[in-house]
Amino acid sequence: MSNVVNLDRVKTYLRIDEDSENDLLVELIEFSKEDVSLSTRADYETYKEDPLYKMLQMIIIADGYENRSSIDYVFRANNRYSALCEKLRTMVEDYD
């Protein structure tokens, strides 16, 4: 099994058993890749198996899923997300 964020892993994380939300979850997975990469400058192909990268993806996916009916559709960054972003950003800068 791949060590990246995928549909099965997300469904387990969110405790979803049925398949009716699969399309939404796949969209959220793709969005999370782009969002983490843009927020941290961490290239997906390089960092996709890094625990920080994966946790940031899961936070974004969980927020998008749990707030999918929200009128404003704005991701509300939290302290955990911000701290992990900064950690990954620093790691990327140190690597470059």
pLDDT digit string, tens, across residues 34-92: 999 998 999 999 999 999 999 999 999 998 898 877 655 555 667 778 888 888 888 88
Query: Does residue 69 lie in a domain region?
Result: yes
What pTM was computed for the model? 0.81
Query: Does residue 46 lie in a domain region?
Result: yes
3-class SS string, the chain: CCCCCCHHHHHHHHCCCCCCCHHHHHHHHHHHHHHHHHHHCCCHHHHCCCHHHHHHHHHHHHHHHHCCCCCCCCCCCCHHHHHHHHHHHHHHHHHC
Query: Does residue 24 lie in a domain region?
Result: yes
In which domain, by residue range, is 57 found? Answer: 7-95
Query: Does residue 1 lie in a domain region?
Result: no
pLDDT, position 78: 73
Query: Does residue 66 lie in a domain region?
Result: yes
Total of domains in the chain? 1
pLDDT digit string, tens, across residues 7-26: 999 999 999 999 999 999 99
